[in-house]
Amino acid sequence: MNAEEQKLSYFKTEPIPDHILERMAECKKKGMIVPDETLIKRPSQIEGIREASRINTGVLDEVASRIQVGMTTQDIDDIVVEYTHAHNAICAPYKFEGFPKSVCTSVNNEVCHGIPAKHRKLHEGDIINVDATTIFNSYYGDASRMFMMGAVSDKRRKLVEETKKCLEIGLAAAQPWNTVGDIGAAIVKYAHSKGYSVVRELGGHGVGVDFHEDPFVAHDAKAHTGMVLVPGMVITIEPMINAGRAAVVIDPYNGWTIYTRDNSDSAQWEHTILITETGNEILSY
């Protein structure tokens, strides 16, 4: 049996339960968008994703214990590589579509996809997002956290804390048989109530067997729109929240780093979650 056949064999030995297939059929009849059966993970796949996700959480715990003022973002990359390899795992970002480093480090007005560099020192007052994705046994876990360097302004602290709240509000909306749009609707409502804006160009995603799978998880969306959340789906929620306007620009030199167009600060938190029959389970944080 080759790797491809093995992948498909799960679908015979671990079929989707009948009561879930029936409920999916009802949703489809109502005109809702239902996921392809390949997006509904089976127990053995969930175990693999859980394992990769656990290592990925360990990566961020390791960064949390060692990050400090005066380090460079390259030092963060070194920590991530060392920890990941010590756990016989792979840093998914490395060489992903040409990305040159092993983790994303996005400081202050950088929204995401910041590239670690020896010349980028972390100063007192900076806020930084560290976004790690780990491959273990060919399964993926993806998460990111914010870190506040020393004493940061109240404005920045509040942005970091309220962005975490946005993720938590998104998690609460990520209930089985809700839709993906319910997540973004809850997030954007809260973010706007705090005077923040929500980045639209990038979002969460299905994850687990691949780095980025369907569905796209918009963080600014309308309730009751988009794909139905079916138990067994694994997705990320990763709101990017700006202190100023929502518009972003891409770095014209490296082709990766996303900045706020108005240079305002931006924050992001990301979890990988499993949709279950009763709610969701956080796999990586």
Q: Which residues bind ligand MF3 (CB under 6 A)?
A: 93, 96-97, 99, 104, 113, 131, 133, 142, 236, 238, 270
Residue 93 interacts with which of Co ion, ligand MF3, none, CB < 5 to 8 Å by class: ligand MF3
Whichever of 35 and 141 has its CB closer to ligand MF3, that residue is 141
CA geometry: angle 154, 155, 157, nearest 5 deg: 60
Structure-block tokens of residue 269: 């938190």
CB of 6 to Co ion, least distance (A): 26
**Residue ranges in 102-176 assigned as alpha helix (H):** 154-173
- In the list ligand MF3, Co ion, none, the entry touching 147 (Cβ below 5 to 8 angstroms by class) is none
Question: Three-class SS of residue 19?
Answer: helix
**Angstrom distance (rounded) from CA 51 to CA 54:** 5
Decide which of Co ion, ligand MF3, none touches 136; Cβ closer than 5 to 8 Å per partner kind. Answer: none
Closer to ligand MF3 at the Cβ: 48 or 204? 204
Pick the closer one to ligand MF3 by CB: 132 or 228.
132
- Smallest gap from Cβ 204 to ligand MF3, in A, equals 7
Q: Which of 117, 143, 111, 132 is nearest to 250 (CA)?
A: 111
Nearest approach in angstroms of CB 212 to Co ion is 7
- Phi first, then psi: give them for residue 6, nearest 5 degrees: -65, -40
Distance, in Å, from the CA atom of 111 to the CA atom of 265, rounded to the nearest integer, reads: 8
Q: Which residue of the chain is nearest ligand MF3 when measured via CB? A: 93
Give the nearer residue to Co ion in terms of CB position, either 45 or 284: 284
Paired sense of beta strands 258-260 and 197-198, if any? unpaired
User: Which residue in this structure is represented by tokens 């993970």?
Assistant: 41
Q: CB of residue 96 vs ligand MF3: minimum separation in angstroms?
A: 4
Partner that binds at residue 77, options Co ion, ligand MF3, none, CB closer than 5 to 8 Å by kind: none
**Shortest Cβ 112–ligand MF3 spacing (Å):** 7
Interaction site with Co ion (CB under 5 A): 131, 142, 236, 270
Provide DSSP, 78-131: HHHHHHHHHTT-EETTTTGGG--SSSEEEETTEEE-PPP-TT-BPPTT-EEEEE
**Residue 50 contact among ligand MF3, Co ion, none, beta carbon within 5 to 8 Å by kind:** none
Q: Regarding beta strands 240-242 and 197-198, do their DSSP bridges make them parallel or antiparallel, or are they unpaired?
A: antiparallel
Q: Which two tokens stand for residue 76?
A: 């963060």
Q: How far is the CB of 125 from ligand MF3 (least distance, A)?
A: 25
